[in-house]
Amino acid sequence: MSQLPDVPDMHLFVSGSLEGLFTEKIALHRTLRATAHPLIRIVWEQCVLPQLIVRLRFDVFHSPAYVLPVVCPCRSVVTVLDATFIRHPETFPRLHRKYLTYFTGKAVRKADAVIVISESTRRDVVEIFGALPEKVVTIFPGVSEIFKPASDTETHKVRRRYGLRDSTVLYLGTIEPRKNVTTLVAAFAEVRRALGGNCELVIAGAKGWGCEGMGRLVDDLGIADAVRFIGYVPGDLLPALYSAASVFVYPSLYEGFGLPPLEAMACGTPVITSNTSSLPEVVGDAGIMVDPRDTDALAEAIVNVLQNKELCEEMRFKGLARAKKFSWEETARRTLKVYENVHSGNSRG
């Protein structure tokens, strides 16, 4: 957004280090690092932030994740990324779910405009929270320019670093119930029986809430020699990791948008994902979509991609073209338009 022409003065509250990412058009305000703690963050958002809004004389305040100050002394915009805590409450700790449900509902009703990141989330916000449809604006995220097919040298380096085999099924994301990794592991057990020992499942990403027992599941299915958890992967290695994979599988039960499938397509990797929530909006006709709870269908799709070179090439071509439709520049331009409309008294972007 800072690179667009005619951008108004903007202020950003941060608790981490973001030096070098923004121009003089954006003023950075440091919050206490302690705001990373949930309770301290809530106090800061609800008690300290309104005072700062008054002191700095903001015209519009934008909360990029669910929550607005209950007393917000200027026009406001809130982004709702998804409604997982409502649609799949079993995938959230109880207190976290109750907090998000209460404060998201208040924010959606109070805000002058609500930004959502998919039409699926837009429907949820209107249906669940009773938001006025005319003030809910869908703005898709973009895909970073770093995500593109990696060179042979880069791919070789990441293969050596992580010990990847020639036939690799890749999942990347937080390991938590909503991501449905257990179904992927069960489906891969079927893939292994169908194709033998020439393929592996690589699960990349940090362990989240509710992932206990994943290792035991792998052992029980008898596929411990072909499933590897490689943990967090640095951002600069992701394009090469996607490019090195034979297929990227993302069987999430629910997503507000789903960036990993988009990133994989931008790297030229075939994508298999769920036919639920926003994911069809992301992959369009470039990927294969299945019922995320259907283990057999997921396994069949993986086997089909691994065995069919013509299908892989077709998916690669379509995926690259699909990914070009999602631009952060367009995301920034449309978000700025929302600010301008809210400032002038309109609610639509």
**CB-based burial label for 328 (10 Å; 0-12, 13-18, 19+):** middle
Tens of pLDDT, residue by residue over 70-110, are 999 999 999 999 998 999 888 777 888 899 999 999 999 99
The pLDDT, as a whole number, for residue 22 is 66
Distance, in Å, from the CA atom of 223 to the CA atom of 236, rounded to the nearest integer, reads 30
DSSP per residue, 234-298: -GGGHHHHHHH-SEEEE--S--SS-HHHHHHHHTT--EEEESSTTHHHHHTTSSEEE-TT-HHHH
Instruction: Quick: pLDDT tens for 298-342.
Output: 999 999 999 999 999 999 999 999 999 999 999 999 999 999 999
Question: Is 80 exceeded by the pLDDT of residue 21?
Answer: no
**Domain positions in the chain:** 10-142+328-343, 152-323
Q: What angle do CA 308, 309, 313 make, to 5 degrees?
A: 120
Q: What is the pLDDT of residue 145?
A: 94
pLDDT-derived band at 347 (thresholds 50, 70, 90) equals: low
Q: What is the pLDDT of residues 188-222, one digit of tens each?
A: 999 999 998 789 999 999 876 666 777 888 889 99
**What would the CATH number be for the domain defined by 152-323?**
3.40.50.2000
d(CA 154, CA 168): 16
Give the C-alpha separation, 189 to 299, whole Å.
8
Contact (CB, 8 A) for 110 and 76: yes
Task: Give the Cα separation of 59 and 290 in Å (integer).
Answer: 45
Asked if pLDDT for residue 66 goes beyond 60, the answer is yes
**CATH 3.40.50.2000 for the 10-142+328-343 domain, yes or no:** yes
Q: Answer yes or no: is pLDDT of 17 > 70.
A: no
Mean pLDDT for the chain overall:
92
Mean pLDDT within 169-181: 91
Dig out the tokens for 155 from the structure. 């791919």
Do the domains 152-323 and 10-142+328-343 match in fold? Answer: yes
